[in-house]
Structure 1
Amino acid sequence: MASMLVAASVLASELALPPAAHAEAPVQAEVVYTADLAQPIRGGADRKLRYLDNLDLVADADLDALVGWHGARAHGYVLVNNGAHPNTAAGSLEGVNNIEVGKAGVRLFEAWAEQDIGSRGALLVGLYDLNSEFYALDSAELLLGPPFGIGTELAATGRNGPSIFPSSALAVRANLRLGAGESYVRVAAFNAHAATLGDPGGVDVGFHDGLLLIGEAGLGRPHARLSLGLWTYTRAREAYYSDPADPDPQRRHARGAYVQGEFQLPGAGESAFQAFVRAGFSRGGTTPFAWSASAGLFRAPVLAARPGSSASLGVHYAGTSQSFRQEVRALGQSPASSEYTLEATYSDRLADWHTVQPDLQLVCQPGGLRGAPAALIGTVRLTLTLP
């Protein structure tokens, strides 16, 4: 493992070019390698040190400059994931690491084309990451906990999750910018079964699970953004828990809503604190979660002498659903009404291509079980980037 990290560091230093060298190129490419070392410090199932990694291969093409297709662009994104599962030790319902996957492998995560419509609209078609534009907060991106990326009550839906990391789905997305600022209205329809090249069966083109429909409206200002989203599945799925004696398990439609905001706190310059807050709920009882909420702070740079430094603090709650609590009781255990996590992280860019990030997470009531010992998980993340 150490030799691989050293080799990647040397390769990055030899091949990295200044961003300006690619500024006019019709095709922009980026390679990002992320490696995590994670270990339970207190609580959890064991004290094993776990290694996992993620390789992002991303390319963006200006189709106007490339083939004369005015107002169009294309995007491709391949994921390569390997390594252990730190959540096995933490026992969290929501997860503790945003590059952990259930099955290692190579996947075509995104492959889409987008066409401008007039001066303010755009239409996108292809394999598309819902969380790249929906239910996302810039000021929460540094945190490693998956619930800071997207609300758990939506992330847990669908047969294989919605169209988010690491498996995407075919989608159509329309975006309309409002006014001269950053306000917008955005809607999308996704195949409800997220499956792409690299997953068993490849890309699902049958749409037998129906659609996931989502819409988001946002109000943007120079130092603040507020957005509201609504989502629903067009076909019902089995409830998370059904009475074993019932010969006809209940089927329910999953649907929900969320609201989120981020804003700059009063302070001097770009290093002022950024704050975020988010809450969402779902109905239908098809997942362990009925609602989630998170809040936190972000600051960059943290130290004047370290312009590449940044830090973030966050807390998130996940309210368990009635179906989940019924299942836990049926197994003879005592369910909790929520699972919640506190996270603190610091990142420092040692070079333009090299970042180190230590992280601590405290998971309380892990597994949604009342009386379960809290788990403290320590992680060190290394990120290497080839621009």
Structure 2
Amino acid sequence: MRLRTTLAALALLALPAAPRAEETPPACESGTALAPGLCLAGTLTGDAMANVSGGIRRGAAAVGQLRLDLTADLGTLAGLDGWRMAASAFAIYGRQPTATRVGSLAPVSNIEALSTVRLFEFWAERSLGEWGSLRFGQLAADAEFAAASGAANLVNGTFGWPVALAGALPSGGPAYPLATPGIRLALGDPEGATGLRLGVFSGDPGGAYGEGTDPQRHNRYGTLFSTRGGAFYLAEAVTGGEAPEGEDAPRPWVLKLGGWYHTGGFDSVRFDDAGLSLADPASSGTPRRFGNNYGGYAVAEATLWRGEEGWVSVFGRAFAQPGDRNAVDLQLDGGLAWRGPFGRGGDTLSLGVSWARIGARSRDFDRDLIAFGTTRPVRSHETVVELNYDAVVIEDRLSLRPLAQLLFNPAAGEPDERRDRTRALPDAVVLGMRAVLTF
């Protein structure tokens, strides 16, 4: 009820703008114009991944995703100046390589998900002029928050919505493939200059799913519009230099500082409600309950070199959160993007490295299990390294992206009973190819 009241109150701020002089309808940034002010864009992405060493088992898996985006300028279509709407949907099909082949915390493909047809985002936005904008509806936080533009071409999912947040939040949080009702207020110009993003989202995009149930199956078509699980708040301050006008190039430098707070209930990773270890046979088996969860993060980017046919940029991110209620308490990642390597202006070479650490309380729980007779390793950390090359085949239409990923200590040392429940998964080597067709 609190979340619904907040959404309703903030939506009342979006008052109609004063009429403006008649203007030429804006052209579509991508896709096809169905009518003046109405644009449809599509992207077909296919990933073929082969685990050639380590992980759960060797072998290949393929997954495909069709994404459709519909955007509407309501000023052109209906005379509502300053308003626009957008909707996006996915058709996903294939075998998820992480769950079936690798077993890592970080998904080796950022498009892998349950095979289905799913509504994703569906929102309206009111421009507030120089003040910013207000967006409300079904939203995904990973569309704007905690993102590094230099990581855009990396295929491993942790370089987008990080393992730290996905593991801490119910159903993985409001991020691909699950969006959720929410509202986002942007003040200033966080996209191109200096500003602030504030967001409040429904706490659990999976809704009231049972224990052991996949939230993606519970909210299979993206139409549940869950308002359960408390509320998830995000705030992000952004500053940086202005990008060169008329160029498809990153900003000279960007700094983002963010924080989040979740009002839902979260279980202790080690202790029960009486203070005993959950590994103790005398334990009640009911974890101690915390009334909230929270964390902070920072993102930094810089352009090191800019030439006539390309540029080189680097990025770094850090995420921290309490280890008493989250398995991962610290994640660091970084990398670089080189546009125009080897004289090919449209190609991009990308490198990324991510390190996610298991918190002290979770490691102590593993030691408790060992002390009470369970043979297993103690979890520590997971490291991901990815190198890929995005080659343009048909400009603005088709690209191919061969890639290699090294996953050290997959699942941070958590054993997989399909292989050996007493030993950590071996380091994995994944080779793959991504094809992207836009229309």
TM-score (norm 1): 0.88
**Aligned-residue identity in percent:** 27
- Which residue pairs with 1:3 in the alignment? none
Match of residue 338 from structure 1: 381
* Residues 79 and 235 of structure 1, relative CA distance in 2, 3 Å threshold: same
Counterpart pick for 2:254 among 201, 221, 225: 225
Are residues 203 and 323 of structure 1, via their aligned partners in 2, closer, same or farther at CA, if it must alter by over 3 Å? farther
C-alpha distance in structure 2 between counterparts of 1:79 and 1:135, whole Å: 22
Are 2:395 and 1:361 aligned? no
Structure 1 gap segments, 5+ residues each: 1-16
Structure 1 residue aligned with 2:264: 235
Over 3 Å counting, the alpha-carbon distance change for 1:96 and 1:340 in structure 2 is same
Structure 1 residues 211 and 272: CA distance shift in structure 2, 3 A: same
Q: What one-letter code is carried by the residue in structure 1 that aligns with 2:195?
A: Y
Of residues 207, 218, 230, the one that matches 1:210 is 230
1:336: how far off? 3.5
- Corresponding residue of 1:320: 358
Give 1:293's aligned residue. Answer: 332
Question: What corresponds to 1:75 in structure 2?
Answer: 86
Displacement, 1:237? 1.8
Aligned match of 2:107: 95
- Give the deviation of 1:139 after TM superposition: 0.8
Q: 1:23 to 1:264 in 2, by over 3 A?
A: farther
Q: Would the alpha carbon gap of residues 274 and 174 (structure 1) be closer, same or farther in structure 2, given more than 3 Å must change?
A: same
Shift in CA distance, 100/21, structure 1 to aligned 2, threshold 3 Å: closer
**Larger RCO, structure (CA 8 Å, separation 6 or more):** 1
Q: Distance in 1 between matches of 2:284 and 2:35?
A: 64
Alignment deviations for residues 255-285 of structure 1 (CA, whole Å, 9 cap, x no partner): 1000011110035345221000110111264
Cα separation, 2, equivalents of 1:206 and 1:336: 33
Unaligned runs of 5+ in 2: 1-27, 208-214, 243-251, 272-277, 414-422
Q: Does the 8 Å contact 1:35/1:52 carry over to 2?
A: yes
| Separation of aligned partners in 2, 1:41 and 1:247 | 39
Verify: 1:176 aligned to 2:187, yes or no: yes
Cα deviation 1:152-201 (Å, max 9, x = unaligned): 21122232111000001100110011599611101000001114998525
State the secondary structure of the residue aligned to 1:139.
helix
Distance 1:270 1:131 in 2: 30
Alignment-derived partner of residue 250 in structure 1: 288
CA distance in 1, matches of 2:128, 2:217: 33
- Larger mean CA deviation between 59-68 and 364-373 belongs to 364-373
What is the Cα deviation at residue 297 of structure 1?
A: 0.7
Distance 1:319-1:71 versus aligned 2 partners, 3 A rule: same
User: Number of residues paired by the alignment?
Assistant: 368
Which protein has the larger Cα radius of gyration, Structure 1 or Structure 2?
A: 2
Which residue identity is paired with 2:135?
Answer: L
Render the CA deviation track for 1:53-107: whole Å, top value 9, x for unaligned: 1110111110100111110000100011111121132221222111111x21111
Alpha-carbon spacing, 1:74–1:21, altered in 2? closer, same or farther (3 Å): closer
Q: CA-to-partner distance for each residue in 1:129-166, whole Å, 9 max, x for gaps?
A: 10111001111011111111023211222321110000
Letter in 1 for 2:437: L
Query: What SS does the corresponding residue of 1:325 show, helix, strand or coil?
Result: helix
135-144 or 277-286, which moves further after superposition? 277-286
Shift of 1:46: 2.2
1:384 aligns with 2:437: yes
Q: Give yes or no for contact 1:213–1:232 (8 Å, CA) kept in 2.
A: yes
User: For the Cα contact (< 8 Å) 1:151–1:293, is it kept in 2?
Assistant: no
Note if contact 1:173-1:188 (Cα within 8 Å) is conserved in structure 2.
yes
Contact 1:27/1:60 (8 A) holds in 2: yes
Match of 1:153, SS state, is helix
Whole-angstrom CA distance in 2 between matches of 1:198 and 1:336: 27
Q: Which amino acid aligns with 2:228?
A: H
